[in-house]
């Protein structure tokens, strides 16, 4: 938005405008940067500058400052669409764009960040990408990841099939980080037997920030997708808070574990597949991966069942929540239980009489043909419903143990399984079967804290 009052008069007095680079002394120090548009909620006493380090700063002005303008206006908040040209001898990389911070810019109306780039604009933002590959870019959506629906994952799976048919040697899916792991898990079930790597990638910091992880994450994902002897769905994100390397995680065993850290993504109950160093070198940390094979035919089964829900157990749990899903004819229910796989079902005193109703309502759901799967709020470790009587009672009424599946992974798997068969017993069997790396045979103790690659965090 346009400046007003004192800040507008100051700019006009010195012939400066949005996009100009200026320097001046103010009450809070000396400043040098590009004049950015005023945020909608900004006042007349502040100028917004983008400093040379990439950060934006609001500078208090009272109108007496002397501005020095030494660089003419440039386009602010805009990126040019770079023409995609074929380069002989370069491999083909496909980018499927869904939005998110990795492809975002500042919204100068509110001062916030919005998804705003088309896929072609990524080349202008990341010119190194244009040097290493021929690029195919497809726009699935341009939205925040909390708005992603299973239908968008269906579109991703179908587009993966198209890109493979077009000869792509690797596929990168740009995605917002908040639900990136959920989409990666769902696509892992929808798109199996892949001949090439598929790397979901995002960033915690937008591309216009000095601390942005966007470029490194994208370049590491591209290098892995193009060069690694690997096939399947992965997530590639920062491995440390520094710019050392990215970690490549299994699509069904990864979770965002911090709201803002650049190394927010962690493999849960599994080691990451690999490290990708800043120079593009790939160091594998596991050897049980499917290898790339151009002759392998992808198996795309993109359908899903909508009537599946995730229900978290908590103290003072309302038993009627379960009846809601039964009455609405839901086919599946993933329970995020406590510890080894429990929900409150024991009637012990006046305060816990309703626990009996919880048990009865769960039994009603299963008896009606619904599939209930138990997972753990602990995330790390695995379900064992044979240890305590609570778990054994739940097993008796047909609640399935979810092994070491993450709750969200179990949710999308159940959605996918129920779309593959209408046979309840067959569906129950599939939920107990490892389909895409979501269930491990044993728990590796090194995966709890250090991800299997850094012992510095393990207490002595």
**Contact assessment for residue 377 and residue 313, using Cβ atoms and an 8 Å cutoff:** yes
Q: List domains and CATH numbers for the chain.
A: 5-71 (2.30.30.520), 92-300 (3.40.50.1170), 308-431 (3.40.50.40)
The pLDDT assigned to 181 comes to: 98
Active-site option among 98, 133, 174, 177 = 177
**Contact assessment for residue 12 and residue 30, using Cβ atoms and an 8 Å cutoff:** no
Active site residue 178: yes
The pLDDT assigned to 89 comes to: 87
What is the sign, positive or negative, of the torsion defined by CA atoms of 402, 174, 172, 221?
A: negative
- DSSP H or E stretch at residue 390: helix 389-396
Strands 104-106 and 92-97: unpaired
Cα 133 to Cα 65: distance, rounded to the nearest angstrom: 49
Both tokens of 456, joined, read 């510095």
pLDDT tens by residue, the chain, 460 residues? 689 999 999 999 999 988 889 999 998 889 998 888 876 677 888 998 888 776 788 899 998 898 988 766 555 555 556 666 778 889 999 999 998 877 666 554 444 555 545 656 767 777 888 888 988 888 898 888 999 999 999 999 999 999 999 999 999 999 999 999 999 999 999 999 999 999 999 999 876 666 789 889 999 999 999 999 999 999 999 999 999 999 999 999 999 999 999 999 999 999 999 999 999 999 999 999 999 999 999 999 999 999 999 999 999 999 999 999 999 999 999 999 999 999 999 999 999 999 999 999 999 999 999 999 999 999 999 999 999 999 999 999 999 999 999 999 999 999 999 999 999 999 999 999 999 999 999 988 989 876 555 544 444 4
- DSSP H or E stretch at residue 17: none
The pLDDT assigned to 459 comes to: 42
**Among candidates 368, 372, 374, 373, which has minimal Cα distance to 329?**
368
Cα 389 to Cα 340: distance, rounded to the nearest angstrom: 11
Q: C-alpha dihedral over 323, 326, 329, 332, to 10 degrees?
A: 120
The pLDDT assigned to 104 comes to: 65
Active-site option among 98, 130, 133, 178 = 178
Residue 331's alpha-carbon distances to 222, 259, 304, 406, 409, in angstroms, are 39, 32, 12, 19, 17
CB-CB neighbours of 293 under 10 Å: 13
Cα 382 to Cα 378: distance, rounded to the nearest angstrom: 9
Cα 264 to Cα 113: distance, rounded to the nearest angstrom: 19
Active-site option among 50, 253, 256, 413 = 256
The pLDDT assigned to 130 comes to: 80
**Contact assessment for residue 274 and residue 285, using Cβ atoms and an 8 Å cutoff:** yes
Active site residue 133: no
The pLDDT assigned to 109 comes to: 43
Active site residue 293: no
Active-site option among 101, 133, 234, 358 = 101
Residue 177's alpha-carbon distances to 98, 173, 345, in angstroms, are 11, 12, 36
What is the sign, positive or negative, of the torsion defined by CA atoms of 272, 434, 312, 448?
A: negative
Cα 69 to Cα 86: distance, rounded to the nearest angstrom: 41
Active site residue 64: no
The pLDDT assigned to 80 comes to: 58
The pLDDT assigned to 127 comes to: 80
């Amino acid at each position: 938005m346009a400046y007003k009052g004192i800040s507008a008069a100051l700019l006009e007095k010195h012939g400066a405008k949005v996009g100009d680079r200026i320097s001046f002394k103010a009450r809070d120090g000396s400043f040098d940067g590009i004049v950015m548009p005023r945020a909608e909620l900004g006042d007349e006493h502040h100028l917004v500058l983008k400093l040379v380090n990439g950060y934006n700063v609001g500078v208090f002005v009272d109108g007496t400052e002397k501005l020095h303008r030494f660089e003419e206006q440039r386009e602010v908040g805009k990126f040019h669409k770079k023409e995609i040209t074929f380069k002989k001898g370069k491999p083909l990389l496909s980018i499927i764009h869904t939005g998110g911070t990795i492809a975002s810019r500042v919204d100068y109306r509110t001062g916030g960040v919005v998804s705003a780039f088309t896929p072609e604009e990524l080349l202008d933002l990341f010119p190194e990408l244009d040097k290493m590959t021929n690029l195919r870019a497809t726009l699935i959506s341009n939205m925040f990841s909390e708005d992603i629906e299973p239908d968008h994952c269906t579109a991703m799976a179908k587009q993966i099939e198209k890109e493979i048919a077009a000869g792509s040697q690797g596929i990168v899916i740009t995605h917002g980080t908040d639900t990136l792991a959920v989409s990666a898990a769902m696509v892992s079930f929808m798109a199996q037997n892949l001949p090439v790597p598929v790397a979901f990638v995002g960033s915690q910091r937008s591309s216009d920030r000095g601390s942005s992880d966007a470029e490194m994450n994208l370049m590491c994902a591209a290098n892995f997708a193009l060069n690694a002897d690997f096939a399947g769905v992965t997530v590639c994100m920062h491995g440390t808070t520094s710019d050392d390397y990215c970690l490549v995680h299994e699509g069904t065993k990864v979770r965002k574990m911090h709201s803002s850290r650049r190394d927010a993504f962690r493999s849960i109950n599994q080691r990451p597949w690999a490290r990708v160093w800043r120079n593009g070198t790939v160091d594998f940390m596991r050897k049980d991966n499917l290898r790339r094979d151009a002759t392998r035919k992808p198996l795309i089964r993109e359908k899903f069942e909508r009537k599946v829900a995730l229900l978290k157990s908590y103290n003072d749990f309302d038993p009627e929540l379960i009846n809601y899903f039964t009455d609405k004819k839901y086919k599946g229910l993933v329970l995020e239980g406590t510890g080894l796989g429990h929900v409150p079902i024991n009637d012990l005193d006046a305060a816990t009489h309703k626990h009996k109703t919880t048990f009865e309502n769960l039994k009603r759901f299963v008896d009606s043909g619904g599939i209930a799967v138990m997972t753990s709020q602990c995330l790390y470790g695995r379900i064992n419903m044979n240890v305590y009587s609570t778990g054994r009672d739940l097993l008796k009424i047909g609640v399935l143990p979810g092994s070491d599946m993450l709750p969200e992974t179990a949710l999308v798997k159940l959605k996918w399984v129920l779309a593959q068969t209408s046979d309840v017993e067959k569906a129950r069997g599939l939920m107990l079967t490892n389909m895409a790396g979501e269930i491990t045979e044993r728990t590796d103790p090194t995966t709890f804290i250090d991800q299997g690659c850094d012992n510095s965090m393990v207490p002595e």
